[in-house]
């Protein structure tokens, strides 16, 4: 017996729809290249027709290639191009060069003729050819060559720049040679003045702008040793002194001719050493008497006699070339009646040396041809 109401049967469930599977990607066969006109196979997607297909992502390698190219180009510019234009050039390798032979005169003119010049090799590349200052004249057809030589010696001794008879060491000789012999030689010489050193112009002061005098004033130095002028003096290179030069005239005579050779040589004309016994020192009075007994020409003064001059010795002594000397002033009378100062003379107390002091430059020069004579 049935109890209650009977249940109505449930309707059957609808079968579930299966999701479509994703189609597999079709890969082109290996080793085969597609023609230019052949289209690539289109991948099937689950999207319906008319709908936009999803965009395909590019591989990462396509982004890395441009970056690598840019980095390589930058490295080439930094490491190659820039150093080529801005960097220092590589030093050129040193090449040893053989010295060239010296350039010397090819011919030596002798009158109307020529003598082949000296040819030297490269080992004498420092050699130089200096033309000598020697001048030689030959006087021929002479009736008495010794007399001509004697006359010429007197002419040189009385010239404005007087010559003295000297030996080969340029020491003055008291005795004249014998000009009566058939052949002979005499050497004359005088000292040449040294050239004055070239004056160095002082630097011009820098102009100071107006209103900056106070700021431009030099500050007092606490240490006197820091004087810039003293430092510049100490750092200056020493000036090489010019050598002593002598102008010589060598006179050689023989029957019928006389040869005169003038030259410029290095040296100094000096007086012979005194061989007389020791004498008493020269006093102021005796020094004045020695000057009064000399001729004005010997002292470089005009006139024929020292009577026209007044000599006044000064008190005390001075040092000249490490020798004690007496100073004497010389005055000459003028047309107005006043005495004109003409210069000073210094005589060593041994009487062997006499020096003239220039009244304008105070330059001291030894009187040529002076010989001591007791008053």
Q: Where are the alpha helices (DSSP H) in the chain?
A: 61-76, 82-86, 145-157, 213-216, 228-235, 284-292
Close Cβ partners of 279 (under 8 Å, ≥ 6 residues apart): 350, 351, 374
Q: Which two tokens stand for residue 261?
A: 């050779």
For residues 41 and 28, give the distance between their C-alpha atoms in angstroms, rounded to a whole number.
8
Helix and strand numbers (H, E) in the chain are: 6, 13
Instruction: Say if CB 171 and CB 267 are below 8 A apart.
Output: no
| pLDDT tops 90 at residue 251 | yes
Give pLDDT tens digits for 195-247: 776 655 566 666 555 555 544 444 444 444 445 454 444 555 566 778 899 99
User: Stretch 267-278: mean pLDDT, rounded?
Assistant: 75
* Range name among 87-96, 286-295, 334-343, 349-358 with the lowest pLDDT average: 87-96
Confidence of residue 21 (pLDDT cuts 50, 70, 90): low
Token look-up 């019928």 returns: 256
Whole-number average pLDDT of the chain: 76
DSSP 172: B
Measured in whole angstroms, how far is the alpha carbon of residue 298 from the centre of its chain?
43
Characterize the bridge pairing of strands 107-110 and 245-254: unpaired
* Range name among 224-233, 259-268, 362-371 with the lowest pLDDT average: 224-233
Give pLDDT tens digits for 65-100: 888 888 888 888 877 767 666 655 555 666 667 788
Instruction: Say if CB 347 and CB 328 are below 8 A apart.
Output: yes
Token look-up 């000057």 returns: 291
| 182 or 57, greater pLDDT | 182
| pLDDT tops 70 at residue 290 | yes
Confidence of residue 191 (pLDDT cuts 50, 70, 90): very high
| 93 or 108, greater pLDDT | 108
Q: Where are the alpha helices (DSSP H) in 9-106?
A: 61-76, 82-86
SS (H, E, C) 290-338: HHHCCCCCCCCCCCCCHHHEEEEECCCCEEECCEEEEEEEEEEECCCCC
Token look-up 């102008």 returns: 247
| Closest by CA position to 156, among listed 178, 187, 177 | 187
Instruction: Say if CB 143 and CB 152 are below 8 A apart.
Output: no
Q: What share of the chain in percent tops pLDDT 70? A: 64
* Range name among 86-90, 108-112, 131-135 with the lowest pLDDT average: 86-90
| pLDDT tops 80 at residue 353 | yes
| pLDDT tops 80 at residue 332 | yes
| pLDDT tops 80 at residue 9 | no
For residues 307 and 293, give the distance between their C-alpha atoms in angstroms, rounded to a whole number.
10
For residues 309 and 301, give the distance between their C-alpha atoms in angstroms, rounded to a whole number.
10
Instruction: Say if CB 308 and CB 208 are below 8 A apart.
Output: no
Question: Exposed, middle or buried: residue 339 (CB in 10 Å: 0-12, 13-18, 19+)?
Answer: middle
Q: Which two tokens stand for residue 87?
A: 């960097």
Query: What pLDDT does 274 receive?
Result: 65
For residues 154 and 123, give the distance between their C-alpha atoms in angstroms, rounded to a whole number.
50
For residues 167 and 188, give the distance between their C-alpha atoms in angstroms, rounded to a whole number.
8
| 293 or 211, greater pLDDT | 293
Cα angle, residue 54 at apex, residues 49 and 55 outer, rounded to 5°: 130
| pLDDT tops 60 at residue 173 | yes
Give pLDDT tens digits for 295-322: 888 888 888 888 888 899 998 888 888 8
Query: What pLDDT does 1 receive?
Result: 47
370 sits in the region (left: phi over 0; alpha: psi -120 to 50; else beta) called beta
Q: Where are the alpha helices (DSSP H) in 210-258?
A: 213-216, 228-235
Give pLDDT tens digits for 140-169: 999 999 999 999 999 999 988 899 999 999
| 371 or 337, greater pLDDT | 371
Token look-up 């002594």 returns: 317
């Amino acid at each position: 017996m049935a109890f209650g109401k009977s249940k109505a049967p449930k309707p059957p469930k609808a079968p579930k729809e299966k999701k479509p599977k994703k189609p597999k990607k079709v890969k082109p066969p290996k080793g085969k290249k597609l023609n230019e006109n052949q289209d690539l196979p289109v991948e099937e997607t689950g999207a319906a027709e008319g709908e936009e297909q999803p965009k395909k992502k590019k591989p990462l390698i396509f982004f890395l290639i441009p970056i690598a190219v840019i980095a390589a180009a930058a490295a080439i510019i930094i490491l190659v191009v820039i150093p080529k234009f801005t960097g220092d050039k590589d030093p050129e390798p040193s090449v040893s060069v053989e010295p060239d032979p010296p350039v010397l005169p090819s011919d030596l003119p002798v009158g109307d003729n020529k003598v082949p010049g000296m040819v030297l090799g490269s080992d004498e590349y420092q050699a130089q050819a200096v033309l000598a200052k020697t001048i030689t004249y030959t006087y021929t057809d002479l009736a008495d060559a010794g007399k001509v030589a004697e006359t010429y010696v007197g002419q040189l001794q009385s010239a404005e720049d007087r010559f003295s008879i000297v030996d080969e060491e340029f020491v003055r000789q008291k005795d004249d040679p014998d000009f009566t012999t058939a052949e002979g030689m005499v050497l004359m010489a005088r000292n040449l003045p040294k050239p004055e050193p070239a004056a160095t112009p002082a630097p011009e002061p820098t102009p100071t702008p107006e209103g900056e005098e106070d700021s431009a004033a030099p500050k007092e130095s606490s240490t006197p040793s820091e004087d810039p002028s003293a430092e510049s003096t100490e750092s200056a290179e020493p000036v090489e002194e010019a050598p002593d030069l002598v102008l010589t005239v060598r006179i050689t005579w023989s029957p019928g001719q006389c040869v005169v050779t003038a030259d410029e040589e290095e040296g100094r004309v000096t007086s012979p050493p005194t061989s007389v016994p020791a004498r008493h020192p020269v006093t102021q009075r005796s020094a004045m008497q020695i000057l009064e007994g000399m001729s004005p020409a010997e002292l470089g003064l005009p006139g024929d006699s020292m009577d026209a001059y007044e000599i006044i010795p000064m008190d005390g002594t001075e040092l000249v070339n490490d020798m004690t000397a007496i100073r004497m002033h010389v005055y000459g009378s003028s047309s107005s009646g006043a005495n004109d100062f003409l210069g000073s003379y210094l005589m060593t107390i041994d009487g062997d040396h006499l020096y003239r002091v220039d009244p304008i430059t105070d330059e001291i020069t030894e009187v040529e041809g002076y010989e001591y004579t007791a008053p």
